[in-house]
Structure 1
Amino acid sequence: MTTTLITGANKGLGFETARRLLAAGHTVWIGSRDEERGRRAAERLGARAVQLDVTDETSVQAAAKLIEAEGGLDVLVNNAGIEARAAQNAVIGAADLTADLMRGTFETNVFGLVRVTHAFLPLLRRSAAPVVVNVSSGLASLAGVSTPGTPKHAYPGVAYPASKTAVNMVTVQYAKAFPAMRINAVEPGYTATDLNGNTGHQTVEQGAEIIVRMAQIGPDGPTGGFFDAEGVLPW
Protein backbone atom coordinates (compact mmCIF):
# COMPACT_ATOMS: atom_id res chain seq x y z
CA MET A 1 0.00 0.00 0.00
CA THR A 2 1.37 3.40 -1.03
CA THR A 3 0.92 6.20 1.51
CA THR A 4 0.77 9.75 0.20
CA LEU A 5 0.71 13.17 1.86
CA ILE A 6 -0.63 16.16 -0.09
CA THR A 7 -0.19 19.62 1.39
CA GLY A 8 -2.95 22.18 0.87
CA ALA A 9 -5.32 19.39 -0.07
CA ASN A 10 -8.65 20.47 1.41
CA LYS A 11 -9.67 22.09 -1.91
CA GLY A 12 -8.65 22.72 -5.51
CA LEU A 13 -5.85 20.78 -7.16
CA GLY A 14 -4.82 19.13 -3.90
CA PHE A 15 -8.33 17.81 -3.28
CA GLU A 16 -8.69 16.48 -6.83
CA THR A 17 -5.24 14.88 -6.64
CA ALA A 18 -6.24 13.18 -3.40
CA ARG A 19 -9.45 11.90 -4.98
CA ARG A 20 -7.60 10.42 -7.93
CA LEU A 21 -4.84 8.82 -5.89
CA LEU A 22 -7.36 7.28 -3.50
CA ALA A 23 -9.08 5.76 -6.53
CA ALA A 24 -5.70 4.40 -7.61
CA GLY A 25 -5.31 2.61 -4.27
CA HIS A 26 -3.18 5.04 -2.28
CA THR A 27 -3.70 5.78 1.38
CA VAL A 28 -3.91 9.57 1.32
CA TRP A 29 -3.27 12.13 4.03
CA ILE A 30 -5.00 15.47 3.47
CA GLY A 31 -2.66 18.15 4.79
CA SER A 32 -4.57 21.33 5.63
CA ARG A 33 -3.70 24.52 7.50
CA ASP A 34 -7.29 24.69 8.76
CA GLU A 35 -7.88 21.54 10.80
CA GLU A 36 -11.68 21.56 10.43
CA ARG A 37 -11.62 22.10 6.66
CA GLY A 38 -9.08 19.32 6.33
CA ARG A 39 -11.21 16.97 8.39
CA ARG A 40 -14.30 17.68 6.29
CA ALA A 41 -12.38 17.17 3.04
CA ALA A 42 -10.94 13.88 4.29
CA GLU A 43 -14.38 12.66 5.33
CA ARG A 44 -15.77 13.45 1.87
CA LEU A 45 -13.03 11.47 0.19
CA GLY A 46 -12.40 8.65 2.62
CA ALA A 47 -8.89 9.96 3.30
CA ARG A 48 -7.01 10.76 6.49
CA ALA A 49 -6.58 14.30 7.78
CA VAL A 50 -3.58 15.99 9.36
CA GLN A 51 -3.29 19.61 10.43
CA LEU A 52 -0.32 21.01 8.55
CA ASP A 53 0.63 24.65 8.11
CA VAL A 54 3.72 24.71 5.89
CA THR A 55 4.80 28.05 7.38
CA ASP A 56 4.86 26.70 10.95
CA GLU A 57 7.68 24.43 12.09
CA THR A 58 5.75 23.05 15.07
CA SER A 59 2.80 22.11 12.87
CA VAL A 60 5.01 20.40 10.30
CA GLN A 61 6.97 18.43 12.90
CA ALA A 62 3.76 17.29 14.59
CA ALA A 63 2.39 16.10 11.24
CA ALA A 64 5.58 14.17 10.54
CA LYS A 65 5.43 12.45 13.93
CA LEU A 66 1.79 11.48 13.42
CA ILE A 67 2.34 10.06 9.94
CA GLU A 68 5.46 8.21 11.11
CA ALA A 69 3.47 6.66 13.97
CA GLU A 70 0.76 5.61 11.50
CA GLY A 71 3.15 3.70 9.28
CA GLY A 72 5.30 6.12 7.31
CA LEU A 73 5.24 7.80 3.92
CA ASP A 74 6.00 6.89 0.29
CA VAL A 75 4.86 9.93 -1.70
CA LEU A 76 4.97 13.62 -0.82
CA VAL A 77 3.06 16.11 -2.96
CA ASN A 78 4.11 19.66 -2.13
CA ASN A 79 0.97 21.37 -3.40
CA ALA A 80 0.35 24.22 -0.92
CA GLY A 81 0.99 27.60 -2.51
CA ILE A 82 -0.14 31.21 -2.69
CA GLU A 83 -0.23 34.00 -5.26
CA ALA A 84 -0.72 37.46 -3.77
CA ARG A 85 -3.20 39.60 -5.69
CA ALA A 86 -4.47 43.15 -5.25
CA ALA A 87 -8.02 44.51 -5.41
CA GLN A 88 -10.30 43.19 -8.15
CA ASN A 89 -8.01 40.14 -8.35
CA ALA A 90 -5.30 42.13 -10.13
CA VAL A 91 -1.83 40.62 -10.34
CA ILE A 92 0.74 42.70 -8.43
CA GLY A 93 3.39 43.88 -10.89
CA ALA A 94 6.93 45.13 -10.47
CA ALA A 95 5.94 48.73 -9.74
CA ASP A 96 3.96 47.69 -6.66
CA LEU A 97 6.17 44.83 -5.51
CA THR A 98 7.46 45.11 -1.94
CA ALA A 99 9.98 43.06 -0.04
CA ASP A 100 7.26 42.05 2.41
CA LEU A 101 5.04 40.74 -0.40
CA MET A 102 7.95 38.81 -1.89
CA ARG A 103 8.89 37.43 1.52
CA GLY A 104 5.33 36.29 2.23
CA THR A 105 5.08 34.48 -1.09
CA PHE A 106 8.41 32.74 -0.61
CA GLU A 107 7.49 31.79 2.97
CA THR A 108 4.75 29.49 1.70
CA ASN A 109 5.89 28.53 -1.80
CA VAL A 110 9.59 27.97 -1.14
CA PHE A 111 10.46 27.92 2.56
CA GLY A 112 7.28 25.98 3.33
CA LEU A 113 8.12 23.40 0.69
CA VAL A 114 11.64 23.01 2.06
CA ARG A 115 10.34 22.83 5.63
CA VAL A 116 7.93 20.01 4.79
CA THR A 117 10.39 18.12 2.61
CA HIS A 118 13.09 18.27 5.28
CA ALA A 119 10.70 17.01 7.96
CA PHE A 120 9.52 14.07 5.88
CA LEU A 121 12.85 13.05 4.35
CA PRO A 122 13.56 10.46 7.07
CA LEU A 123 10.22 8.77 6.35
CA LEU A 124 10.68 8.91 2.58
CA ARG A 125 14.17 7.41 2.81
CA ARG A 126 12.67 4.35 4.50
CA SER A 127 10.24 3.80 1.62
CA ALA A 128 10.98 1.23 -1.07
CA ALA A 129 9.88 3.66 -3.79
CA PRO A 130 9.91 7.26 -2.51
CA VAL A 131 8.47 10.02 -4.68
CA VAL A 132 8.28 13.79 -4.27
CA VAL A 133 6.13 15.95 -6.54
CA ASN A 134 6.63 19.70 -6.27
CA VAL A 135 3.76 21.67 -7.79
CA SER A 136 5.41 24.44 -9.76
CA SER A 137 4.08 26.64 -12.58
CA GLY A 138 4.74 27.33 -16.23
CA LEU A 139 5.54 30.86 -15.02
CA ALA A 140 8.65 29.39 -13.39
CA SER A 141 10.18 28.85 -16.82
CA LEU A 142 12.68 31.60 -17.64
CA ALA A 143 12.48 30.51 -21.28
CA GLY A 144 8.69 30.75 -21.25
CA VAL A 145 8.36 34.08 -19.47
CA SER A 146 11.04 35.73 -21.66
CA THR A 147 9.50 34.65 -24.99
CA PRO A 148 7.56 37.61 -26.49
CA GLY A 149 4.06 37.04 -27.78
CA THR A 150 3.19 34.28 -25.30
CA PRO A 151 0.72 34.34 -22.39
CA LYS A 152 3.58 33.71 -19.96
CA HIS A 153 5.49 36.72 -21.30
CA ALA A 154 2.39 38.87 -20.74
CA TYR A 155 2.11 37.95 -17.06
CA PRO A 156 3.26 41.02 -15.05
CA GLY A 157 3.70 39.49 -11.61
CA VAL A 158 7.09 39.00 -9.96
CA ALA A 159 6.74 37.23 -6.60
CA TYR A 160 4.81 34.16 -7.72
CA PRO A 161 6.92 33.20 -10.77
CA ALA A 162 10.13 33.95 -8.88
CA SER A 163 9.04 31.64 -6.06
CA LYS A 164 8.22 28.84 -8.49
CA THR A 165 11.55 29.26 -10.28
CA ALA A 166 13.15 28.76 -6.87
CA VAL A 167 11.00 25.63 -6.42
CA ASN A 168 12.42 24.28 -9.68
CA MET A 169 16.00 24.80 -8.53
CA VAL A 170 15.23 23.18 -5.17
CA THR A 171 13.74 20.23 -7.07
CA VAL A 172 16.87 19.73 -9.18
CA GLN A 173 19.21 19.92 -6.20
CA TYR A 174 17.14 17.54 -4.07
CA ALA A 175 16.97 15.07 -6.96
CA LYS A 176 20.76 15.12 -7.27
CA ALA A 177 21.20 14.70 -3.52
CA PHE A 178 18.79 11.74 -3.28
CA PRO A 179 19.17 9.64 -6.44
CA ALA A 180 17.12 6.78 -4.95
CA MET A 181 14.07 9.07 -4.91
CA ARG A 182 12.00 10.32 -7.84
CA ILE A 183 11.76 14.09 -7.29
CA ASN A 184 10.15 16.26 -9.97
CA ALA A 185 8.46 19.62 -10.51
CA VAL A 186 5.17 19.79 -12.38
CA GLU A 187 3.12 22.47 -14.13
CA PRO A 188 -0.62 21.84 -13.77
CA GLY A 189 -1.53 24.58 -16.25
CA TYR A 190 -3.75 27.62 -15.78
CA THR A 191 -6.38 25.95 -13.63
CA ALA A 192 -9.41 27.62 -12.10
CA THR A 193 -8.74 27.58 -8.33
CA ASP A 194 -8.96 29.98 -5.40
CA LEU A 195 -5.25 30.75 -5.90
CA ASN A 196 -6.00 32.76 -9.05
CA GLY A 197 -9.54 33.83 -8.19
CA ASN A 198 -10.88 31.01 -10.37
CA THR A 199 -9.72 32.80 -13.52
CA GLY A 200 -7.98 29.76 -14.99
CA HIS A 201 -9.30 28.15 -18.16
CA GLN A 202 -8.69 24.55 -17.07
CA THR A 203 -10.70 22.41 -14.66
CA VAL A 204 -9.09 20.90 -11.59
CA GLU A 205 -9.54 17.49 -13.25
CA GLN A 206 -7.33 18.65 -16.12
CA GLY A 207 -4.84 20.39 -13.86
CA ALA A 208 -4.39 17.44 -11.54
CA GLU A 209 -3.51 15.08 -14.39
CA ILE A 210 0.26 15.66 -14.33
CA ILE A 211 0.40 15.72 -10.52
CA VAL A 212 -1.34 12.36 -10.29
CA ARG A 213 0.82 10.89 -13.04
CA MET A 214 4.10 11.93 -11.44
CA ALA A 215 2.94 10.81 -8.00
CA GLN A 216 2.66 7.28 -9.38
CA ILE A 217 5.99 6.90 -11.17
CA GLY A 218 8.17 3.95 -10.26
CA PRO A 219 11.87 3.71 -9.39
CA ASP A 220 12.78 3.71 -13.09
CA GLY A 221 10.89 6.96 -13.74
CA PRO A 222 12.42 10.38 -14.36
CA THR A 223 13.85 12.54 -11.62
CA GLY A 224 15.05 16.14 -11.43
CA GLY A 225 12.72 17.20 -14.25
CA PHE A 226 10.04 19.77 -15.00
CA PHE A 227 6.88 18.41 -16.65
CA ASP A 228 3.39 19.29 -17.78
CA ALA A 229 0.75 16.96 -19.20
CA GLU A 230 2.41 17.12 -22.62
CA GLY A 231 5.95 16.31 -21.52
CA VAL A 232 9.20 18.02 -20.53
CA LEU A 233 9.19 21.80 -20.09
CA PRO A 234 12.12 24.22 -20.65
CA TRP A 235 13.72 25.68 -17.57
Structure 2
Amino acid sequence: MDRTPQMEWLSTSLYAHRGLHDLAKGVPENSRAAFDAAAEAGYGIELDTRLSADGEPVVFHDRTLDALTDNTGPVAALTAEELGRCHLLETAETIPRLQDALQVVAGRAPVLIEIKSHIQSIGLLEQAVRDVIDAYDGPCAILSFNPYSVRWFCKFAAHIPRGRTIIGLISTSGGMPIWRRLLLRSSAAMVRCDPHFYAYDLPALRRGRNRVPVIAWTVRSSHEQGIAQRRANSFIFENMKP
Protein backbone atom coordinates (compact mmCIF):
# COMPACT_ATOMS: atom_id res chain seq x y z
CA MET A 1 0.00 0.00 0.00
CA ASP A 2 1.34 3.44 -0.97
CA ARG A 3 1.64 5.57 2.18
CA THR A 4 2.89 8.67 0.36
CA PRO A 5 0.53 11.59 1.11
CA GLN A 6 -0.79 13.93 -1.54
CA MET A 7 1.79 16.69 -1.98
CA GLU A 8 1.65 17.91 -5.58
CA TRP A 9 1.51 21.44 -4.19
CA LEU A 10 4.98 21.17 -2.65
CA SER A 11 6.98 22.10 -5.75
CA THR A 12 4.55 24.62 -7.21
CA SER A 13 5.01 27.32 -4.54
CA LEU A 14 7.86 29.53 -3.39
CA TYR A 15 8.07 29.87 0.39
CA ALA A 16 8.54 33.04 2.43
CA HIS A 17 11.02 32.36 5.24
CA ARG A 18 9.17 32.93 8.54
CA GLY A 19 6.48 34.69 6.52
CA LEU A 20 6.77 37.78 4.34
CA HIS A 21 8.24 39.93 7.10
CA ASP A 22 9.31 43.55 6.83
CA LEU A 23 10.23 45.15 10.12
CA ALA A 24 10.27 48.63 8.57
CA LYS A 25 6.52 48.18 8.07
CA GLY A 26 5.98 46.75 11.54
CA VAL A 27 5.79 43.17 10.28
CA PRO A 28 8.24 40.93 12.21
CA GLU A 29 9.23 37.37 11.36
CA ASN A 30 6.98 34.47 12.43
CA SER A 31 4.03 36.79 13.04
CA ARG A 32 0.39 36.74 12.03
CA ALA A 33 0.97 39.80 9.86
CA ALA A 34 3.89 38.13 8.07
CA PHE A 35 1.83 35.03 7.32
CA ASP A 36 -1.10 37.08 6.05
CA ALA A 37 1.22 39.14 3.84
CA ALA A 38 2.74 36.00 2.31
CA ALA A 39 -0.63 34.44 1.59
CA GLU A 40 -1.94 37.69 0.08
CA ALA A 41 1.13 37.89 -2.18
CA GLY A 42 0.63 34.32 -3.41
CA TYR A 43 3.60 32.77 -1.61
CA GLY A 44 3.84 29.68 0.54
CA ILE A 45 5.05 30.02 4.11
CA GLU A 46 7.84 28.48 6.19
CA LEU A 47 7.51 28.88 9.95
CA ASP A 48 9.09 27.52 13.15
CA THR A 49 7.44 25.74 16.08
CA ARG A 50 8.44 25.16 19.67
CA LEU A 51 6.60 23.75 22.66
CA SER A 52 5.24 26.01 25.41
CA ALA A 53 5.31 25.12 29.10
CA ASP A 54 1.71 23.90 28.89
CA GLY A 55 2.33 21.71 25.84
CA GLU A 56 1.06 23.90 23.01
CA PRO A 57 2.99 24.43 19.77
CA VAL A 58 3.85 28.10 19.36
CA VAL A 59 5.47 29.83 16.39
CA PHE A 60 8.94 31.05 17.30
CA HIS A 61 12.46 30.38 16.02
CA ASP A 62 14.91 30.94 18.89
CA ARG A 63 15.23 28.79 22.01
CA THR A 64 15.05 31.93 24.16
CA LEU A 65 12.95 35.07 23.99
CA ASP A 66 15.76 37.56 24.56
CA ALA A 67 16.68 38.62 21.00
CA LEU A 68 13.22 38.82 19.44
CA THR A 69 10.80 39.92 22.17
CA ASP A 70 10.32 42.24 25.12
CA ASN A 71 10.77 39.28 27.47
CA THR A 72 13.66 37.01 28.46
CA GLY A 73 14.33 33.35 29.21
CA PRO A 74 13.48 30.06 27.49
CA VAL A 75 10.36 29.79 25.36
CA ALA A 76 9.62 26.48 27.10
CA ALA A 77 9.36 28.21 30.49
CA LEU A 78 6.15 30.12 29.64
CA THR A 79 2.64 29.00 28.79
CA ALA A 80 1.12 29.69 25.39
CA GLU A 81 -1.02 32.42 26.95
CA GLU A 82 2.04 34.06 28.53
CA LEU A 83 3.97 33.82 25.27
CA GLY A 84 1.00 35.40 23.52
CA ARG A 85 1.66 38.55 25.54
CA CYS A 86 5.29 38.81 24.38
CA HIS A 87 5.70 41.47 21.69
CA LEU A 88 7.90 40.72 18.69
CA LEU A 89 10.73 43.17 17.97
CA GLU A 90 8.98 46.21 19.48
CA THR A 91 5.88 45.83 17.30
CA ALA A 92 2.23 45.23 18.10
CA GLU A 93 2.63 41.62 16.95
CA THR A 94 2.84 38.86 19.56
CA ILE A 95 3.90 35.20 19.53
CA PRO A 96 1.12 33.13 17.95
CA ARG A 97 0.19 29.55 18.65
CA LEU A 98 0.52 27.29 15.62
CA GLN A 99 -3.26 27.01 15.58
CA ASP A 100 -3.55 30.81 15.42
CA ALA A 101 -1.05 31.04 12.56
CA LEU A 102 -2.89 28.45 10.50
CA GLN A 103 -6.19 30.21 11.14
CA VAL A 104 -4.67 33.34 9.61
CA VAL A 105 -3.50 31.41 6.54
CA ALA A 106 -6.87 29.64 6.26
CA GLY A 107 -5.81 27.37 3.41
CA ARG A 108 -4.75 30.25 1.14
CA ALA A 109 -1.11 29.09 0.96
CA PRO A 110 0.89 25.93 1.64
CA VAL A 111 2.76 25.91 4.95
CA LEU A 112 6.08 24.26 5.84
CA ILE A 113 6.28 23.73 9.61
CA GLU A 114 9.81 23.47 11.00
CA ILE A 115 9.88 21.29 14.13
CA LYS A 116 12.27 22.62 16.78
CA SER A 117 12.51 19.66 19.16
CA HIS A 118 15.23 17.94 21.17
CA ILE A 119 16.22 14.26 21.16
CA GLN A 120 15.38 14.01 24.88
CA SER A 121 11.75 15.01 24.30
CA ILE A 122 10.88 13.52 20.91
CA GLY A 123 7.14 13.01 20.60
CA LEU A 124 5.85 15.89 22.71
CA LEU A 125 6.05 18.71 20.16
CA GLU A 126 5.50 16.28 17.31
CA GLN A 127 2.20 14.99 18.70
CA ALA A 128 1.01 18.51 19.47
CA VAL A 129 1.80 19.63 15.91
CA ARG A 130 0.12 16.54 14.46
CA ASP A 131 -3.07 17.31 16.38
CA VAL A 132 -3.13 20.89 15.06
CA ILE A 133 -2.49 19.76 11.48
CA ASP A 134 -5.20 17.10 11.68
CA ALA A 135 -7.72 19.79 12.65
CA TYR A 136 -6.61 22.10 9.82
CA ASP A 137 -7.99 22.14 6.28
CA GLY A 138 -5.11 23.30 4.12
CA PRO A 139 -1.86 22.06 2.54
CA CYS A 140 1.03 21.76 4.98
CA ALA A 141 4.09 19.66 5.69
CA ILE A 142 6.60 19.28 8.51
CA LEU A 143 10.36 19.43 8.24
CA SER A 144 13.20 19.26 10.74
CA PHE A 145 16.96 19.18 11.17
CA ASN A 146 16.35 16.45 13.75
CA PRO A 147 16.04 13.04 12.03
CA TYR A 148 14.40 11.58 15.15
CA SER A 149 11.59 14.10 14.79
CA VAL A 150 11.08 13.20 11.13
CA ARG A 151 11.13 9.51 12.06
CA TRP A 152 8.38 10.14 14.64
CA PHE A 153 6.15 11.49 11.89
CA CYS A 154 7.06 8.53 9.69
CA LYS A 155 5.89 6.12 12.42
CA PHE A 156 2.95 7.96 13.96
CA ALA A 157 1.70 10.46 11.35
CA ALA A 158 2.56 8.97 7.98
CA HIS A 159 -0.30 10.89 6.35
CA ILE A 160 1.51 14.21 6.90
CA PRO A 161 4.19 15.13 4.31
CA ARG A 162 7.58 15.16 6.03
CA GLY A 163 10.92 16.67 5.05
CA ARG A 164 14.48 16.41 6.31
CA THR A 165 16.37 19.71 6.59
CA ILE A 166 20.05 19.48 5.61
CA ILE A 167 22.74 22.05 6.36
CA GLY A 168 26.22 21.85 4.83
CA LEU A 169 29.45 21.97 6.78
CA ILE A 170 30.04 25.29 5.02
CA SER A 171 26.86 27.35 5.15
CA THR A 172 25.81 30.86 4.20
CA SER A 173 22.93 30.69 6.67
CA GLY A 174 25.00 30.91 9.85
CA GLY A 175 23.61 30.48 13.33
CA MET A 176 24.67 26.84 13.81
CA PRO A 177 28.12 25.87 15.14
CA ILE A 178 30.21 23.40 13.15
CA TRP A 179 30.04 20.72 15.89
CA ARG A 180 26.24 20.70 15.68
CA ARG A 181 26.33 20.41 11.89
CA LEU A 182 28.66 17.41 12.19
CA LEU A 183 26.36 15.83 14.78
CA LEU A 184 23.28 16.31 12.58
CA ARG A 185 25.03 14.86 9.54
CA SER A 186 26.19 11.78 11.45
CA SER A 187 22.80 11.17 13.07
CA ALA A 188 21.06 11.60 9.72
CA ALA A 189 23.21 8.80 8.31
CA MET A 190 22.21 6.47 11.15
CA VAL A 191 18.50 7.26 11.54
CA ARG A 192 16.06 6.09 8.89
CA CYS A 193 13.22 8.57 8.61
CA ASP A 194 12.07 8.11 4.98
CA PRO A 195 11.46 11.78 4.14
CA HIS A 196 9.12 12.72 1.30
CA PHE A 197 11.38 15.66 0.44
CA TYR A 198 14.62 17.35 1.49
CA ALA A 199 15.30 20.98 2.34
CA TYR A 200 18.95 21.76 1.53
CA ASP A 201 20.75 24.96 2.37
CA LEU A 202 22.30 26.45 -0.76
CA PRO A 203 25.93 25.25 -0.29
CA ALA A 204 24.69 21.70 0.33
CA LEU A 205 22.62 21.51 -2.87
CA ARG A 206 23.70 18.66 -5.13
CA ARG A 207 23.83 18.70 -8.90
CA GLY A 208 21.84 16.22 -10.94
CA ARG A 209 18.62 14.31 -10.40
CA ASN A 210 17.07 13.81 -6.98
CA ARG A 211 14.99 10.83 -5.89
CA VAL A 212 12.52 13.05 -4.02
CA PRO A 213 11.67 16.76 -4.30
CA VAL A 214 14.26 19.23 -3.00
CA ILE A 215 13.57 22.67 -1.55
CA ALA A 216 16.52 25.08 -1.29
CA TRP A 217 17.02 27.59 1.54
CA THR A 218 17.49 30.46 2.17
CA VAL A 219 17.53 32.48 -1.08
CA ARG A 220 18.32 36.17 -0.55
CA SER A 221 19.44 37.41 -3.99
CA SER A 222 18.77 36.93 -7.70
CA HIS A 223 22.09 35.05 -7.97
CA GLU A 224 21.05 32.59 -5.26
CA GLN A 225 17.62 32.31 -6.87
CA GLY A 226 19.30 31.17 -10.08
CA ILE A 227 21.22 28.46 -8.22
CA ALA A 228 18.06 27.25 -6.50
CA GLN A 229 16.07 27.17 -9.74
CA ARG A 230 18.74 25.06 -11.44
CA ARG A 231 19.26 22.56 -8.65
CA ALA A 232 16.01 22.36 -6.66
CA ASN A 233 12.28 21.95 -7.21
CA SER A 234 11.44 25.05 -5.17
CA PHE A 235 13.01 27.36 -2.60
CA ILE A 236 12.56 29.30 0.61
CA PHE A 237 13.40 33.01 0.32
CA GLU A 238 13.89 36.05 2.54
CA ASN A 239 14.38 39.82 2.16
CA MET A 240 13.31 39.72 -1.50
CA LYS A 241 10.31 38.95 -3.69
CA PRO A 242 11.11 36.41 -6.41
- Give the TM-score category using the shorter length: 0.3 to 0.5
In terms of fraction of residues, the more strand-rich structure is: 2
In terms of fraction of residues, the more helix-rich structure is: 1
**Normalising by structure 1, what TM-score?**
0.38
**Normalising by structure 2, what TM-score?**
0.37
